[in-house]
Amino acid sequence: MSSTLVIRDVHLAYDDAQNARKVFDVVLQDGRVARILDASEREHHGQEDNGAVKIIDVEGKGLLIPSLCHAHIHLDKCFLLDRCELVKGDFSEALEVTSRAKAAFSSDTADMYARGQRLIVESVAAGVTRMRAHVEVDTIVQNACLDAALRLKHDYKNCCDVEISLFAQDPLFPSPSSLQPGDNYTLLEKAATSQHISSIGSAPYVEPTASQAKSNIRLILDLAHAHSLHADFHLDYTLDASSEPLIWFLLSDLRARVRTGRWHAGARVCVGHATRLTLFSPAEWSRYAHEVAEDRLPVTLAGLPQSDVYMMGRALAPVPRSTLDVVRLARAHGVGAALAVNNVANAFTPQGPPDPLALCPLGVALFQAGTKAACAALLRSVTTIARVATGNASPSSLFPQVGDVADFVVLHDNPSVQDAACNPCYDRTTIKNGRVVARRRGHVELHPH
């Protein structure tokens, strides 16, 4: 049956003052954007709320943007803080306490499902309709995280595209002298044959040696190609200027694959963290932009600011506040990078909600970026660029376009792009395929006397 949803009297993401003040009616039909109309002409095109037509009246107070996307989030490791005692709070402790918590995952799958469910529900309520969801596969958890993710993907398929990414957090090589990968790799290789997964990835920095880290990258790219998956790396997660940035190895290896037909068209590589790249000179960034553009390498960087800034550089003095500056990268080097939440309530990132939009005010402060153009760049990093990072390019603009997939979030109390990025409002309506899938409303009771 044909369905129509009209978002009435809503602002669109214009940056010039005249258009930014205007309000529009956006008509969604059968899961696509059908028409975008100047609201002042409504008497000529007006539609009434009835059985076939639903209307969301934004009353000129809110903004319509593409729905939010988690470019990078850990579905299995969320909401673990209550069972992970932090004493030092550093990275090695986070690995250790999370490993201990992981040991219980396979014996309590109901708990894992419930934590993942909470993450999905809170994310959709915030405006998310797509996520790259990392789930670990290794000798500790076997396939328990994957199995829970597959159930969640199915159960929430009408609200959110849960794009499952198999993730090797632990080393693929068992010891520094190993020439061949061990049991963790065998399990990952087997899991890669599963249906309904979209990506495979690893954290090469955990390998015992630099050469094994490079082999780790090759093995993951091989598996991605063999099973038509996207690839996803936690890469160059360091602020040690003397360390070799593995991004150059990754680009070179990927280029060879692209040039010799050993990479599927449409398959993308997402690189998360990449804090080592914050030490790049302008010349190194020019080299990066040139290498990616020359062969149209399908690579997207994803800064994970809540984790990067919380965890990195603790031994340095002064402690640097380093994460990929997505605003400057876009402006100075034409490099579009995503911002992503990464972890929610665990030892790697104890703070922050599962709301990608909450990264925008953090970015305004970290990147000293509060102009209208900077705010638009921040919104793109959690919407359109985040989608590209996960292998999906529609909607492709902050503006609705006729024919676009109708995946949007209404920010009911943010009338402009700048307001939305600087101070995201609470009240939101999430729309997926032209259908309302979540309404989030705050309720204030004031008792002045």
Residue 346 or 430 with smaller CB distance to Zn ion: 346
Q: Residue 207 Cβ, how far from Zn ion at the closest point, in Å?
A: 16
Nearer to Zn ion, 134 or 432 (CB): 134
> Where does this chain bind Zn ion (CB under 5 A)?
342
Min CB(237)–Zn ion separation in Å: 9
Whether the upstream peptide bond of residue 415 has omega within 30° of 0, thus cis, is no
The span from the CA of 441 to the CA of 419, in Å, is 18
Give me the least distance between CB of 74 and Zn ion, in Å please: 6
| Closer CB to Zn ion, 10 or 78, in the complex | 78
- With a CB cutoff of 8 Å and minimum separation 6, the contacts of 26 are 6, 7, 10, 12, 33, 35, 36, 37, 64, 400, 408
Alpha helices for 198-357 (secondary structure H):
210-226, 247-259, 282-294, 305-311, 326-333
Please provide the distance, in angstroms rounded to a whole number, between the alpha carbons at the two ends of the chain: 53
Distance of CA 197 to the CA centre of its chain: 16
CB of 349 to Zn ion, least distance (A): 9
DSSP H or E stretch at residue 110? helix 109-126
Smaller CB separation from Zn ion, 342 or 430:
342
Q: Burial letters for 32-43: b for 16+ Cβ neighbours within 10 Å, e otherwise?
A: bbbebbebeeee
Closest CB to Zn ion among 272 and 395? 272
Q: Say if CB 201 and CB 166 are below 8 A apart.
A: yes
Distance CA 406, CA 410 (A): 12
Q: Which is nearer to Zn ion, 136 or 404 (CB)?
A: 136
Q: Output the smallest distance, CB 342 to Zn ion, in A.
A: 5
> Which strands sit side by side in the sheet containing 68-74, from one edge to the other?
68-74, 128-136, 161-168, 199-202, 230-235, 269-273, 299-303, 337-339
In the block, residue with structure tokens 């280029």? 255
**Residue among 202 and 384 whose Cβ is closer to Zn ion:** 202
**300 vs 342, which CB is nearer to Zn ion?**
342
d(CA 337, CA 359): 13
The nearest distance, CB 429 to Zn ion, in angstroms, is: 29
What is the closest distance, in whole angstroms, from the C-beta atom of residue 235 to Zn ion in the complex?
11
